[in-house]
Structure 1
C-alpha cells in the first residue's frame, strides 16, 4: 500500500467521499494533503451533524459542504510548496483543476472560497467549509463564527445559536491534537509510494 493510499484509508478519521478520494488518487496527491483533507472533512461532518440535529429547517447543501471540505485545498497538488508554507495560488488553480476534471461549480467553488469568506456572494455552505478548515486544528476565527451565527439566527435567537455553536466548536477543537498528529504522520512532499 502506498503512502497516499494509507493517508486516504488509515483510521481513525472517516474516509472522504468517493469522488474526492478518486480525484486525489488520480492526481497522485501529496500524502499530507490527503491527510489534511480528511481532518477538515471530519470537522465538517461534525458541523453538518450538528446542523441536522439543531437546525433542521435551515436549508444547507450537506453534500456540497462535505465535498468542499474534502477538496478545498486540492490546488496544493499543483502548488505543493503551499502545504508547508504560505501562498494562495492553490485557491484559483484548485478551482480550475476541479472544473477541468468535470466537478460542477456548486462543488468546485470551495477551492476558491475557503479563504475568502467575507467576499460578497459567499453562502452558509462556504462559511461552513471555511469554519471546518479553521477549527479542525483548534483555530477560532470570531468574525467567521459570527457570519455562521448570523446566517442561523432566526431559526433560534442569536445568543442561543452563538452558545450552541461555541460549544460545538470547543468540542471539535478538543480533537485537534489527534487530527494534527494524523496529518503530520504523512510526508508533505516526495513520492507517495
Structure 2
C-alpha cells in the first residue's frame, strides 16, 4: 500500500513498505523534473522542479516490486568479538555462537542511509534487540551492531547506542572512492565470520 502526500511546493513524500525498492524504481524511471530522491525508513521524498500533479501520476504508475532485492551483493567480513555480544545472547536466549551464526546466516538489504555518511540501515535481520539505555560516547569505525530490527556497520568513529556484535576491517566510507559509500539503498549485504 502506497500513500503520496505533498511536502511543500516542490516535493512529494511517498509512504511505502519497500522504500529501497521504490527509490530504485524512481531512479530507474528517469522521470522528467526529478531533482533528488531521498529514501527513509518507510518513506521516499521526491524533490522536483516540474508540476507535482504530473509527477504524482507517474509515481503511482511505478512498480517497486521488480526492484526488491535487486541490488548488488556486498560481503562484509566480521570478527564476532563485540562488547555487547554476550548481552545480545542473553536478550535473545541464544548462545554467543548462535547469535553470530544467525547474524551471518541472514541476507540484509540497505533500506536507507542516515545518522552519518555511509551509515546504512540494514533490514532483513533476525536479531531484534533494543538500543542500549546509555549510548557510548565513541564507537570505533567498522563496528558491526544491532538495534531494534536493524543491523549496521559504523562507517566512522562516532557516538552510538547500538549493541556491538563485532568488527570488520572493511572501509565503508572513503572520500577518495567513487562513490564514497560502500553501501547504498537496495544493496544486499551478507556478513561472513572471520
Give the structure-1-normalised TM-score. Answer: 0.27
Structure having the larger proportion of residues in helix: 1
Q: Give the structure with the higher percent strand.
A: 2
TM-score under structure 2 length normalisation: 0.27
Greater RCO (Cα-Cα under 8 Å, separation 6 or more): 1
